[in-house]
Amino acid sequence: MMRLALEEAAKSGADVPVGAVLCRDGQVIAAAHNEREAGGGPFAHAEMLAMQRAFERLGERRLRGCTLYVTLEPCPMCAGAMVMAEVDACVFGAYDPRQGCCGSVYDLPEDPAFFHRVRCTGGLLEAECAGQLRLFFQNKRK
């Protein structure tokens, strides 16, 4: 699933290459990549788009039984959306020490203040996920 998320991230074009795949019972329900620069606006993060597409496809308000695979640790907005959508788990590749809210800066999905908790695991294919991001920013700085 993380390899599919990496493939999705490669489609990000001018945007930061982040890809997300949401699955249930081993089946891909939805996939997305960042689309902020493509006119999607500030909420067009890969995770948000994948969850929205999953809602539309499943016709359900909650994403129980689903796991979200994402190439970069979710930000506060995406981590909060996972909680509100009642996603079961999130597996991410690269850690984000500046904005990551699944353990790096804050652990929003595990905060006991919220009704639902999302199990988060980081570091899956971390080198590949971080390498894709590093290459993007190196090229952008040139």
Residues acting as catalytic residues: 47
First to last CA, the chain: 32
Q: Angle 126-141/2-9 helices, nearest 10 degrees?
A: 10
**Residue 112 neighbours by CB distance under 10 Å:** 6
Token pair for residue 57?
């496809």
